[in-house]
Amino acid sequence: ENDQIPTLIFDEIDAGIGGVTVQAVAERLYYAAQNKQVICVTHAPLIAGRAQTHFYISKSAVGGKTRIKVQQLQSDERVMEIVRMLGGTADEEATLNHARQILKYREEG
């Protein structure tokens, strides 16, 4: 809070951690973002779920060239991406509910 760094960027900050450690990292990122811009590449639904804005980044090879697509996710898209990150599908009610709970937790602060 007292430093002069306006933006923090983390690439796969969730690598090699799980469980309560991921939750602790998600909490710290959330609170850091109250005073700074935080950009985080993650595969952890608990970290992604705490973000104010969620982007989906995909990469593909077309004609020998790599293409990257960045899409800002809206409400329902965000739920479905959290479901995917959890390893579930849209037809699994328990996974849908879990994804919604993860996103609701962010709203509650």
Q: What is the pLDDT of residues 2-29, one digit of tens each?
A: 678 899 999 999 999 988 999 999 999 9
Q: What is the pLDDT of residues 50-96, one digit of tens each?
A: 999 999 999 999 999 999 999 999 999 999 999 999 999 989 999 99
Q: Do 85 and 103 meet the contact criterion of CB atoms below 8 Å apart? A: no
Provide the total of helices (H) and of strands (E) in the chain, helices listed first: 4, 4
The pLDDT score that the predictor gives to residue 2 is 66
Closest CA to 50 of 20, 30, 75: 30
Domain positions in the chain are 7-108
The pLDDT score that the predictor gives to residue 1 is 58
Q: What's the CA gap between 41 and 79, in Å, rounded? A: 17
